[in-house]
Amino acid sequence: MTLYDKIMALYPNLTQQDFLTVITLQNDSDGKGDYIAKWEHPTLARPTEDQLK
Amino acid sequence: MGTLVLSGATSGSTTLQPTDATTQTITLPPGGGTAMVSGNMPAFSAYYSGSPQTPAANTWTKLIFNTEDFDTANCFDSTTNYRYTPNVAGYYQINLICTVGQNGSSTTGYSSAIYRNGSIYVITQTGQVQNGAYGNQSFSIILYLNGTSDYIEAYVNPTNTGYYSPVSNLRGVSLSGSLVRAA
């Protein structure tokens, strides 16, 4: 399950537009995998590490 | 403004060269025309070589440019960070080609972006790429880079599972650029 899938499982109402505006998931192709580069959603809290396990 | 006249330069090209910098020259072509500056205008071209890559959906994934066509000032990192950090301040034209494909069960849209210093500088977006089809995003921009710490990278972001570089080694995923005006 990708980071995106995990976040969508937590917040199923997020839209693709959200991921182009207030949320940025990123992978720098350095072997470290996907991560949350930006979370500026006006109402939903940034997921914790525990929630993303 | 003054005028420098080189007495005796009556034919052929004329080269101006500082005594302490043999790689920096200005050549005036014979019979008029545009003065050319060589040796200090960085240019590069690099592309992805390898099997297709599969970035995760809705995730900005850095494009890998692991093969260089040329890199005149050794400013492109094609082994670790896949970024261009030119060593001359000025305005650079940067060209990105990003060819993508879709072989999953659904269509996907793609965005591609040029990042400057780790943040998105410009984004383009395609329409939907059908299952089994290909899409292409190619664009050029001109942006300022300070010649010391500024760098650029390129990222891709599919809306569903897809891949980039469906035909490897043919520069379908490539980044190139050159200085067009010094600061």
Summarize pLDDT for B24-49 with one digit per residue, the tens. Answer: 677 666 665 555 565 678 999 999 99
State how far the Cα of B181 lies from the Cα of A23, in Å rounded to an integer.
Answer: 35
Which two structure tokens, joined as six digits, stand for A15? Answer: 């839209």
Q: What was the pLDDT predicted at A10?
A: 96
State how far the Cα of B168 lies from the Cα of B48, in Å rounded to an integer.
Answer: 7
Of residues B118, B108, B105, the one with CA closest to residue B151: B118
Of residues B52, B42, B82, B86, the one with CA closest to residue B66: B82
Which two structure tokens, joined as six digits, stand for B178? Answer: 């050159």
Residue B24 maps to a domain: no
Which two structure tokens, joined as six digits, stand for B142? Answer: 């001109």
Q: What is the pLDDT of residues B96-126, one digit of tens each?
A: 999 888 766 677 888 999 999 999 999 988 7
Cβ atoms B158, B108 nearer than 8 A: yes
Q: What was the pLDDT predicted at B87?
A: 93
Q: What was the pLDDT predicted at B134?
A: 81
A48 has pLDDT over 90: yes
Q: What was the pLDDT predicted at A41?
A: 97
Query: Total structural domains in chain B?
Result: 1
* N residues, chain A: 53
Residue B12 maps to a domain: no
CATH number of the domain bearing residue B134: 2.60.120.40
* Domain range for B78: 41-182
Long-range contacts of A32-41 (CB under 8 A, 24+ apart): A33/A3, A34/A2, A34/A3, A34/A4, A34/B56, A34/B59, A35/A3, A36/A3, A37/B60, A41/A14
Q: What was the pLDDT predicted at A39?
A: 97
pTM of the model: 0.83
Which two structure tokens, joined as six digits, stand for B14? Answer: 């004329």
Residue B113 maps to a domain: yes
Record: contact A27-B111, CB cut-off 8 A: no
Task: Give the DSSP per-residue string, B68-119.
Answer: EEEETTS-EE-SSS-EE--SS-EEEEEEEEEEEE--SSS-EEEEEEEEETTE
CB atoms within 10 A of CB B1: 2
State how far the Cα of A51 lies from the Cα of B1, in Å rounded to an integer.
Answer: 67
Record: contact B56-A3, CB cut-off 8 A: yes
A24 has pLDDT over 90: yes
A19 has pLDDT over 60: yes
Mean pLDDT for all residues in chain B? 85
- Could you give the ipTM of this predicted complex? 0.90
Mutate to test the interface with B, among A14, A27, A32 (most CBs of B within 10 A): A27
For B18, B36, B40, B148, the CA distances from B24, given in Å and listed in that order, are: 7, 11, 7, 19
Q: What was the pLDDT predicted at B130?
A: 79
B1 has pLDDT over 90: no
Residue B80 maps to a domain: yes
Residue B9 maps to a domain: no
Residue B1 maps to a domain: no
Residue B17 maps to a domain: no
State how far the Cα of B149 lies from the Cα of B117, in Å rounded to an integer.
Answer: 8
CB atoms within 10 A of CB B93: 15
Nearest to A4 among B58, B63, B80 (CB): B58
Nearest to B57 among A4, A20, A30 (CB): A4
Which chain B residue's Cα is nearest to A15? B58
Residue B92 maps to a domain: yes
